[in-house]
Homo-oligomer: A and B are copies of this chain.
């Protein structure tokens, strides 16, 4: 299976785990909607930094505040 874990890049450089086993990701207006294999859904104010399918990792960065 190809689920990935989604992390949010914190200001201090650490990565906070947001959701495991993500199978669906949909960017919206200033948000990313993540769904996992269990049907859990999370919407987070962020943008995609990069998606690394070899390492099953989605890295998000916080949405820039206006």
List residues of chain A with CB under 8 Å of any chain B CB: 2-4, 22-27, 37, 47-54, 56
Please tell me how many copies of the chain the complex holds. 2
Docked Cα-Cα span, A48 to B48, in Å, equals: 9
20 more CB-based (< 8 A) A-B contacts, given A24-B53, A25-B53: A2-B4, A2-B53, A2-B56, A3-B53, A4-B53, A23-B52, A23-B54, A24-B50, A24-B54, A25-B48, A25-B50, A25-B51, A26-B49, A26-B50, A27-B48, A27-B49, A27-B50, A48-B48, A51-B51, A53-B53
Across the interface, name the chain B residue whose C-beta is closest to A26. B50
Q: How far is the CB of A19 from chain B (nearest CB, A)?
A: 12
